[in-house]
Chains A and B, each alone.
Chain A
Amino acid sequence: MSEGTMAVVKPEMKSYIWVQTADGSIQQVEEEVAMFCPMICREVLQTGMGSSKNYAISLPQRVNPATLGLILDYCRFHQLQGRSNKERKIFDEKFVRLDTEKLCELASAADSLQLRPLVDLTSRALARMIEGRTPEEVREIFNIPDDLTEEEKLEPLRNITDDPHIRLLNRLYARKRKELKEREQLKSIENEEERVDKRSVDDLLSFINGGDGDSKGVRAIKNKKKNRKRKDQLPRNSSSTNGNGDHKKNDTVDNVASPNKSSKFQDSEPVTFSPNLEFVEDDMDDELDPAMREEIDRFRQAAVIQMTDDHFSQVAASAVSSKALEERTVPEISPQIPACQKMLENVGKWGYNLLL
């Protein structure tokens, strides 16, 4: 079907081209007007479409009927040869007095139809609206959502000229990217920390009692620092196999460990604790099963709580309770205080299981 091409146009019989917009509506357009658009022109010449309603040329998606109307008005004016430049200019200036949305639609549609003069005209009008404004203003006026991710905004700039300002800026961006990553890592860590150890004290006791012998117990006593760490890590992994050194919650341990270097806890079997034993913080840990260390911690915690039931005041009890352990406030026990005296008596009963 190649009738729609350059037929001779008689004055009383104009020829029309059929076009179809993306919404499905088909309309006919005067041929000479439509051929002003390079895209339509090419379609007609190459494929012969547009000669009848059934063979309407499908226009690109960006051309909706209203915009098509505008474009055709433009083409109709400009395709007439006899117009002077001044006339065209006046028409153009009036033509682009549209609101921003219509202008954008027009620019987009003209671009898809490859109508370069109209693209230039609308672009110039849009540029006139944008120029002199800050990006925030442009964003407000044109309602442009920000679709750049934080990371994309912090991409380093290519510094060919070795400009010191750009170097500094890149360094700042690198630092911000690092912070962003750390924040994200922290978020994922927090999500993991929800796990709680639900085992009862009895289970732990039996586990400990059925566990290894004295030597381990002694060793367990010594390193309070690492035990603290174990306890803190408990919520995360009850039977962990991870290493010890990566916790920063050392201060309680230090408070606890330093005053008298006495043992905290051992398993239920009484253990003779020789005061000469040094606290060597680092080297003992590797010999003790981390899981065991955790259980020992737990048990000690529970034991202390039990101990406090008899004679302590509530305050003292809470002070040495697990909560205090968590909050790293360990009260000093001096023999003068009656409650403390009682506690020390109890210590004698239990053997060396005093945590302070």
Chain B
Amino acid sequence: MGSGFSFHSRTNPPSPELSLGDLPEGCVASVLVYLDPPEISRLSVLNRAFRGASSADFVWESKLPPNYDSIIRRVFDDFLPSDLCKKELYTMLCRQNSFDGGTKKAWLDKSTGGVCLSISSRGLAITGIDDRRYWNHIPTEESRFGTVAYLQQIWWFEVDGEVEFPFPPGTYSLFFRLHLGRAFRRFGRRVCNSEHVHGWDIKPVQFQLSTSDGQEAISQCLLEESGKWIHCHVGDFVVEKFGVPTTIKVSMTQIDCTHTKGGLCLDSVVIYPSEFRERLKLF
């Protein structure tokens, strides 16, 4: 670009072609804002401008949930080092972070930044959990928490849970993660022991969900044995504004005392953003 003439016409002097590789870091960062985090990390090896832009704070700030500082305060009691850049904050939040004494975990989905939460069986109030004739805690690697509560048999089946968490605005779905029959590994293969499974096909299980701002949902479900972990959908709730943490109360009951029921592994309650239902094929 150096033709050096100056008159009123719009001329087109031959100029070197500008390509994506010549964009300054700031421009690249503007482009990266429109990509999802795994993509941004993948592109950081392209060239120096991309590498710098992929660590830019304003790119990652757009990926974090809007109330990420209250999430951090809720999840991490011992505060994080303050010199973390936004990318590192995002990385930390994407881990399955335990809080409330290890009974709950919260994490961000790494592609979308959606908040997910899980309450373990130890964080739920299970009727009869202390009585070893009914319930036992068994260790398993198939659970996020390492243990599940196994029901041998009981008349009054009731599980209650409660959590208070600063959810960012959006719609969330709540599930119970259950398994009929007890699974373990023998000779490297997964084997299911259904000796105690009974009573679930007589009457359905009732699910209930309520939030601190008055939303409620009820559902019921006949459990079937499939040898796999099932997510029983309880209901959805909507968070409209942030700044106020939402308290969720959930319960699962089957209290028809004319029959016993048993053989159930209760892993956890999980809350996902509603978009994930199709993604994870949860019903």
Q: Footprint of B on A, CB under 8 Å?
A: 20, 22-28, 61, 64-66, 69, 100-101, 104-105, 107-108, 111, 119-120, 123-124, 126-128, 130-131, 134-135, 138-139, 142-148, 152-153, 158, 160-161
Contact = CB atoms under 8 A, between A and B. Distances in A.
Interface in B93-118: 95
B85 to A, nearest CB: 9
A246 B95 CA distance: 50
B31 A64 contact: no
Nearest to B89: A160
A22 B33 CA distance: 29
A248 to B, nearest CB: 38
A25 B2 CA distance: 10
**Interface extent on B, as a size class?**
35 or more
Interface of B: 1-13, 15, 17-24, 26-27, 30-36, 39, 42-43, 45-48, 51, 84, 88, 91-92, 95
Nearest to A101: B17
Contacts of A104: 18-20, 22-23
Contact of A144 (B8, B13, B19, B39): B19
A148 B48 contact: yes
A101 B46 contact: no
B27 A135 contact: no
A356 to B, nearest CB: 59
Given A65-B13, A108-B22, A119-B27, 7 more contacts: A64-B15, A107-B30, A124-B34, A130-B31, A135-B42, A138-B43, A144-B21
Contact of B47 (A23, A144, A158): A144
A25 B34 contact: no
B212 to A, nearest CB: 32
B20 A158 contact: no
B1 A64 contact: yes
Given A107-B31, A119-B27, A160-B91, A146 B10 contact: no
Contact of B46 (A20, A111, A123, A139): A139
What is the interface of chain B mostly: helix, strand, loop, or mixed? loop
Given A144-B21, A144-B46, A161-B92, A25 B7 contact: yes
Nearest to B22: A104
Contacts of A153: 45
B20 A100 contact: yes
Contact of A161 (B2, B20, B45, B91): B91
Contacts of B27: 107-108, 111, 119, 123
B207 to A, nearest CB: 34
Given A119-B30, A135-B46, A111 B24 contact: yes
B60 to A, nearest CB: 14
Contacts of B39: 130-131
A160 B21 contact: no
Nearest to A20: B6
Contacts of A139: 46
A25 B8 CA distance: 7
A69 B12 CA distance: 10
20 contacts: A24-B2, A25-B5, A25-B7, A25-B10, A26-B6, A66-B10, A104-B19, A108-B18, A123-B27, A123-B31, A126-B20, A127-B34, A131-B34, A131-B35, A138-B43, A138-B46, A146-B46, A147-B47, A147-B48, A148-B45
Contacts of A25: 3, 5-7, 9-11, 13
B31 A100 contact: no
Contacts of A64: 1, 13, 15
A139 B42 CA distance: 12
Contacts of A160: 84, 88, 91-92
Most buried by B among A27, A126, A152: A126
Contacts of B35: 127, 130-131
A162 B134 CA distance: 39
Chain A CB count within 10 A is highest, among B8, B9, B23, B45, for B23
Nearest to A65: B10
Contacts of B4: 23-24
A155 to B, nearest CB: 10
A142 B46 CA distance: 11
- Chain B CB within 10 Å — which of A24, A111, A142 has the most? A24
B102 to A, nearest CB: 17
Contacts of A26: 6-8
A21 to B, nearest CB: 8
